[in-house]
């Protein structure tokens, strides 16, 4: 998640990382000031080999987010993604 936040951030952009308790769970979020994710891509972003931004194809193979989701499933965790009004997106993990 951090690698993706860096990869999709503009030069000089800021990445925000937050972690907070939520009852018996922990909420972790990471957000950047990069491009937003198209709404039609949101439903596929965790699919194997899916890449919604073709400008970064040489930097990855579309497995990163699929692996993150699979690991979180095995740990009984969840992950979600949302666009931030204005610019950027936020990934939230709950464990």
Q: Can you give the residue ranges of every domain in the chain? A: 2-94
Arithmetic mean of pLDDT over the chain: 87
Answer whether 52's CB lies under 8 Å from 38's CB. Answer: yes
Q: For 35-69, what is each residue's pLDDT tens digit? A: 998 888 888 888 876 566 555 444 566 678 889 99
Q: Which fold has domain 2-94?
A: Heat Shock Protein 90 (3.30.565)
Task: State the pLDDT at residue 22.
Answer: 94
The answer to whether the beta carbons of residues 1 and 91 sit under 8 Å apart is yes
Task: Give the rounded distance of the alpha carbon of 93 from its chain centre.
Answer: 9
pLDDT, tens only, 67-83: 999 999 999 999 999 99
Give the helix ranges, DSSP H, for the chain: 2-7, 39-42, 64-74
Model pTM?
A: 0.82
């Amino acid at each position: 998640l951090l690698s993706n936040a860096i990869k999709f951030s503009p030069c000089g952009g800021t990445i925000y990382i937050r972690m907070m308790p939520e009852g018996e769970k922990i909420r972790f979020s990471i957000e950047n000031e990069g491009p937003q994710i198209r709404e039609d891509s949101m439903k596929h972003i965790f699919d194997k080999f899916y890449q919604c931004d073709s400008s970064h194809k040489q930097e990855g193979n579309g497995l990163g987010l699929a692996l993150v989701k699979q690991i979180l499933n095995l740990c009984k965790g969840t992950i979600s993604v949302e666009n931030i009004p204005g610019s950027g997106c936020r990934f939230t993990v709950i464990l």
